Amino acid sequence: EIVLTQSPATLSLSPGERATLSCRASQSVSSYLAWYQQKPGQAPRLLIYDASNRATGIPARFSGSGSGTDFTLTISSLEPEDFAFYYCQQRSTWPPLFGPGTKVDIK
Amino acid sequence: EVQLLESGGGLVQPGGSLRLSCAASGFTFSSYALSWVRQAPGKGLEWVSGISGSGGDGGTTYYADSVKGRFSISRDNSKNTLYLHMNSLRAEDTAVYYCAKVAAGYYFDYWGQGTLVTVSS
């Protein structure tokens, strides 16, 4: 079974800074990777699918890249509402699997 | 606007049963696969179960190993409602349960707000 690893576990940044989050798969998932944002007490929200495609309504400051085993979610300039948890998810093999998450908090 | 509204959560004793419901609106319900995803307190996301939409394998069900044989997913397309029947509940099943609409491939593009299931004596 594929294992997803996310790093760092916590990323402490200030508004306006660039955030770079990593998701690594234990074996290739091709480009079949998504990113979700979750705020406390809320449901997750799909940000990026198939590694680099923004979901409907997602601001352009969110971008995804990578293929195979190494993926990156970049937030070009953090807005106050971006401080949250971020999860990656693969759909390359069954079952769909989420990574453990990265918390982006305010420095 | 797509909306998913879960209900049916609550406190149940170990070994007990519970049925969750998810009322959907804003899309052609029967056409889409749906899933249940759970999140234990302070933990990450875990896919639990899925059911296909109409089409060649319409109504096919899928389960995580952790719930296989104990949980059963079903849908009523006439009521636009998804269900999760949970039996032989364990403490480790304690979580917020989300229903989610499945997008192309197997991503989750819309989520409900979740319903909390607590398994405790």
Interface of B with A in 39-68 (CB under 8 A): 44-47, 62, 64
Would you say A47 and A41 are in contact if contact means Cβ atoms under 8 Å apart? no
Would you say A61 and A75 are in contact if contact means Cβ atoms under 8 Å apart? yes
Q: How far apart are the first and last CA of chain B?
A: 40
Cα distances (Å, whole numbers) of residue A6 to A48, A61, B39, B44 = 16, 20, 17, 12
Is the four-CA dihedral B116, A34, A91, B109 of positive or negative sign? positive
**Chain B interface includes A66 (CB < 8 A):** no
**DSSP SS3 for A62:** strand
Taking only the tens place, the pLDDT of each residue in A59-69 is 999 999 999 99
Taking only the tens place, the pLDDT of each residue in B23-50 is 999 999 999 999 999 999 999 999 999 9
Would you say A47 and A73 are in contact if contact means Cβ atoms under 8 Å apart? yes
Burial class (CB in 10 A: 0-12, 13-18, 19+), A87: buried
> How many CA within 13 A on the CB side of residue B49?
24
**Chain A interface includes B27 (CB < 8 A):** no
Q: What is the mean pLDDT of residues A81-97?
A: 96
Radius of gyration of chain A (CA): 13
Taking only the tens place, the pLDDT of each residue in B53-96 is 986 567 899 999 999 999 999 999 999 999 999 999 999 999 99
pLDDT at A91 over 70: yes
Alpha carbon of B89: minimum distance to chain A alpha carbons (Å): 21
